[in-house]
């Protein structure tokens, strides 16, 4: 008889700009000391916080003890719905297909339209031919810099 163990989410306040450092320190401590913490999340739009997922509040408390740049913990816990909107970021590469027209939304070719000639799902990148270029130059671009084009001009 397996009963579902509910994990809890805790918002851990950090020094601004140190979220990644705190996350790495926490991950290392959790691994080394085998603390029962399921995950440490860095939420993009939640500046100054990392989210800790643990079954037990004591485990979360033990994990953050003595970690640099931690300023405390918000009282109570987060509901999954509080952070759900930040978490679900499908990999762009899964939406890309050869011959699709895309717009490049980052990097040196930002703002240009291109046609996909190859998609590398492992590396999360795509090779494209720029539509605005005077000659066909294949360029490999990070898939996150590509957005499927809606206009067919």
Q: Per residue in 79-103, pLDDT tens?
A: 888 887 776 555 677 788 999 999 9
The upper half-sphere exposure of residue 12, i.e. CA atoms within 13 Å in the direction of its Cβ, equals 31
Distance CA 24, CA 26 (A): 5
Note the pLDDT of residue 65.
Answer: 95
Q: Which of 28, 55, 25, 50 is nearest to 40 (CA)?
A: 50
Same domain, 110 and 71: no
Predicted TM-score (pTM) of this structure: 0.55
Residues 24-35 have a mean pLDDT of 93
Residue 64: is its pLDDT beyond 60? Answer: yes
- Which residue range is the domain that position 98 belongs to? 92-148
Distances (CA, A) of 80 to 53, 63, 83, 114, 133: 10, 20, 6, 38, 46
Residues 137-148 have a mean pLDDT of 88
CB atoms within 10 A of CB 142: 15
Choosing from 87, 105, 138, the residue where a domain stops is 87
CATH classification of the domain holding 117 = 2.30.30.30
- Joined together, the tokens standing for residue 76 give 């109570």
Same domain, 57 and 21: yes
Q: How many domains does the chain have?
A: 2
In a domain, 3, yes or no: no
108: confidence class by pLDDT, cuts 50, 70, 90? confident
């Amino acid at each position: 008889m397996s009963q579902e163990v509910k994990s809890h989410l805790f918002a851990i306040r950090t020094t601004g700009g140190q979220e990644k450092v705190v996350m790495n320190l926490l991950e290392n401590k959790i691994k080394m000391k085998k603390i029962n913490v399921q995950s440490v999340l860095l939420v993009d739009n939640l500046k100054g916080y990392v989210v800790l997922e643990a079954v037990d509040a004591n485990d979360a408390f033990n994990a953050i003890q003595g970690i640099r740049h931690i300023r405390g913990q918000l009282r109570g816990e987060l509901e999954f719905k509080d952070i759900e909107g930040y978490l679900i970021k499908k990999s762009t590469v899964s939406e890309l297909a050869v011959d699709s027209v895309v717009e490049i939304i980052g990097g040196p070719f930002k703002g240009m339209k291109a046609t996909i000639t190859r998609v590398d799902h492992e590396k999360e990148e795509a090779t494209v031919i720029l539509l605005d270029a005077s000659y066909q130059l294949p360029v490999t671009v990070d898939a996150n810099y590509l957005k499927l084009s809606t206009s067919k001009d």
